[in-house]
Amino acid sequence: MQDATHTEIEAAVFRRLLVHLQSHPDIQNIELMNLADFCRNCLAKWYVDAAQEKDFSIDYDAAREKIYGMPYAQWKETYQQEATQEQLALFTAKQAN
């Protein structure tokens, strides 16, 4: 597979992941962290890092808006739920390892 084709496929998969996450706002970030060890905010940080590697500047808030599909404050106000004690305990235990 040529590099350009490989990159196009990876980009398509990433776009599909974003659409999936944006269409499932009921999936909370703490659940993603507990299950997969990354969340939407991690994706935004990786986006910023990847942009910097290509000498392109994007700030964290702009990257989060691309990942969330809306400003983070709006997503948080509309969709973020209080983490349960069980979620917090699992998150804390995973961070200790």
pLDDT tens digits, one per residue of 9-19? 999 999 999 99
- CA–CA distance, 66 with 60 (Å, rounded to integer): 10
CATH code, residues 3-92: 1.10.3340.10
pTM (predicted TM-score): 0.91
Segment 30-89, tens digit of pLDDT: 999 999 999 999 999 999 999 999 999 999 999 999 999 999 999 999 999 999 999 999
- CA–CA distance, 34 with 94 (Å, rounded to integer): 7
pLDDT computed for residue 11 by the predictor: 96
Burial of 87 (0-12, 13-18, 19+ CB in 10 A): middle
Domain spans of the chain? 3-92
